[in-house]
Amino acid sequence: MLAIAFLFCVFLGRFCYVQLFWRQDLVYLALDQWTREIPITPERGKIFDRNGELLAGNESAYSVYARANAVKDAAETAQTLSALLGISFEEMKAKLSDRSRSEITLVKQAEKSLVQRIEGSGLAGVYYSRDNRRVYPYGSLAAQVIGFTAMGSEGTTGAERFYDSFLKGKKGEILYETDLVGAEIEGTSASYLPAEAGMNLKLTLDYRIQAIAEEVMGRTLAATSAKAARCIVLDPQDFSVLAMVNLPSYDLNEPPRDDMDALNRLSRNCIVSDIYEPGSTFKIVTAAADLEEWRKGNASAFSPDHIFPSSRTRSVDGTTIKCWSDHKNGKHAEQTLADALNNSCNPCFVDMALSLGKETFYSYLTAFGFGKATGIDFSGEAVGMLIPEGSVRDCDLARIGFGQTIALSPLQLACAAASAVNGGCYYEPHLLREVFSDDGYVSFRAEKKLVARTVSEETSRLLSSMLEGVVREGSGKHAYIEGYRVAGKTGTAQKYENGQIAQGKYVSSFVGYFPSDAPRFLALIIVDEPQGSYYGSTVAAPCAKEIFEGIIRARNIPPEGA
């Protein structure tokens, strides 16, 4: 009796499970047996710039399918389709005769006119559904940031890939009732399960600033016969990215899919994913660390009034570190910190780094985000290369002070410079502004995220006044704009190949911003291997001036005191 009762409970429990918990799965399996489905591709979410300008959209296209089991005459159907689709008769007939697969994709991304001709042929077993074709109205604009999709559906690079879960939507289906062999049953009606459109993105990019920066950097790339030209424009108040330029580039509507090497090279966002030795633009960080320690009362730090000795070299650990040039009409004169920034004097920054010491200097390198990712919403971010604190020697520390023996991404340097001059706030950089649906519902809106405090507001103001002097009367004077308070720092770095200096190969750069007392636009310019003149002061600084002048016109920014 107990055994019978136990078995009864087992069967009752199984019965309840099948009826109550397994019901939906069994209904789906049964539905799958007597129906065949045609997938409906959802409309992919659109991508806009911060002003609502469309950067990535869609246009209608169609996919054509066939079911071999439902095709009545494979030879006749193949003859008609091969003529319409441009596929050989033998290949088409082989597809239509393959009854091992319930559904065969004949063509994707087809024009409506083609689908209408197929439909007019009255071919049994041939179906079609609406698809999407991704279109980019501005072609190559911000190509590495926006990215592209695989045949209009799945994000492959850039924001298209990073935010694919928002953009792709949910697929729908058209269900047809079929018999046991998969042939459609006459007299039955199809069921329609609509697709759900993807969500739209509004990026922080400003297409006007992006276009200005690309135009300026494109002319510089051509004029200098450089290997590459790059630029990032940030808003220092929240680290939102206003522009990212990577040249040479490509047209998003026609990516070179048949040349994978070219595709990978041209679609790479080097601002985020590549690293380099920054050279003298890094002196902003060293100066900020020194001024902050002086403000705190650290006796090892140099005050703004300190006079650095008039020597063109420094000897550290048996190695001689030279300045890039003599100053003051051939004589390397005594200099203050402001003079050292104006003249971009390496020995003065060697003195600062060594005087601060390894522990203190490294605490600032950490605060400024070096050796770790910034956290930007983009795939493949580089973390840079920073010698571990326990392994760094004095000669390494000395070179880090003026931007050698450290490698970082352009994004890392732009963020570090922005935090040094915006009052000492290091925010998480971001490209996404909001996610919203076609009906206007906003599901996500980005807010600025404070990551660290780097220096005090007092230090930031003092440093900014010195960097304004660099543009007004120092090495950055080619970025000067009458009536606007532009500040910045030039950089000219040697390149290394196989551990040795590559003769004649340089990276020219400039990081600048305005207005200097309340920065709203910060630009980092990088020109890789320019031919002829290669100094950051003559190659990169003029680019920043042109970009800032373009921003002033686009935003209608009045001059100081107007």
How far, in Å, CA of 519 to CA of 548, rounded? 12
The yes-or-no answer on residue 300 being catalytic is no
Reduce the secondary structure of 142-172 to three states and give it as a string: CHHHHCCEECCCEECCHHHHHCHHHHCCECE
How far, in Å, CA of 83 to CA of 70, rounded? 20
Q: Which of 58, 68, 3, 78 is nearest to 36 (CA)?
A: 68
How many other CB atoms are found less than 10 A from the CB of residue 317?
11
Two tokens, residue 251? 């047209």
Burial of 308 (0-12, 13-18, 19+ CB in 10 A): buried
Reduce the secondary structure of 500-513 to three states and give it as a string: EEEEEEEEEEEEEE
Q: Which run of H or of E encompasses 346?
A: helix 346-356
Collapsed DSSP state (helix, strand, coil) of residue 13: helix
How far, in Å, CA of 314 to CA of 319, rounded? 8
Two tokens, residue 314? 């420094």
Burial of 29 (0-12, 13-18, 19+ CB in 10 A): exposed
Single-letter amino acid code for the residue at 406: I
Q: Which of 552, 496, 550, 558 is nearest to 213 (CA)?
A: 550
Two tokens, residue 541? 């600084």
Q: What are phi and psi of 442, to 5 degrees?
A: -100, 115
Residue of 63, 153, 240, 280 marked active site: 280
Q: Residue 526 in contact with residue 231, Cβ under 8 Å?
A: yes
Helix-then-strand count for the chain, H and E = 20, 21
How far, in Å, CA of 474 to CA of 334, rounded? 16
Collapsed DSSP state (helix, strand, coil) of residue 491: strand
Task: Give the CA distances from residue 186 to residues 34, 66, 71, 96, in Å, rounded to whole numbers and listed in that order.
Answer: 13, 17, 14, 21
Biggest distance spanned by C-alpha atoms of the chain: 112
Q: Residue 538 in contact with residue 196, Cβ under 8 Å?
A: no
Torsion of CA 463, 464, 466, 471, to 10 degrees: 150
Strand ranges across the sheet with 500-514: 240-247, 228-235, 521-528, 500-514, 487-497
Residues assigned a catalytic role: 280
